[in-house]
Amino acid sequence: MLITFESKAKKTLDVLPLKHRRQIENRIFELRDSPIPCGSKKLLGKEGYRRIKAGEYRIIYRYEEINSLIVVVLIGKRNGDDVYRIARRVL
C-alpha cells in the first residue's frame, strides 16, 4: 500500500512538534495494514474521503482501493484550525 501526502498535509506535518508528528505518522502508517480502520469515518458528501483521529488532531485522507493508494489530504486540530471547515473549502 502506497501512502502519499498532498502539499498542505505535508507542510502541516513538518511544522508540528516532534511528539505530535510521531503520533500522527504512526497513525498514518497503520493505514498500510488497515486502510479503513475501526474508528475511521466517511466524510459526508465526499466520496472516498475518510478521517481518523490521532490525539487532538484529525487526519483526512482518500483511499483508492483500485490503485492501492492512500492520499493524506489534510491534517489539523479539531478545535484549533477547524480542519473540517478547511476540508469543506478545499475538497
With H, G, I as helix, E, B as strand and everything else as coil, classify residue 64.
strand
Tell me the pLDDT tens digit for each residue of 51-88: 999 989 999 999 999 999 999 999 998 775 577 777 77
Residues belonging to the chain? 91
Q: Say if residue 25's pLDDT is above 90.
A: yes
**Average pLDDT, integer, range 22-45:** 93
Phi, psi of 13 (to 5 degrees): -60, -40
The matching CATH number, chosen from 3.30.2310.20, 3.40.50.300, 1.10.3330.10, 3.20.20.70, for 2-90 is 3.30.2310.20
Tell me the pLDDT tens digit for each residue of 38-50: 999 998 877 889 9
Say if pTM beats, i.e. exceeds, 0.85.
yes
Q: Which residues pair with 63 in a beta bridge?
A: 70
Q: Domain residues of the chain, as ranges?
A: 2-90
Q: What is the pLDDT of residue 86?
A: 72
The number of helix segments (H) and strand segments (E) in the chain equals 3, 5
Task: Report in angstroms the alpha-carbon separations of 13 from 24, 45, 64, 65.
Answer: 8, 26, 22, 24
Residue with the bigger pLDDT between 36 and 78: it is 36
Burial of 37-70, coded b for 16+ CB within 10 Å and e otherwise, reads: eeebeebeeeeebbbbebeebbbbbbbeeeeeeb
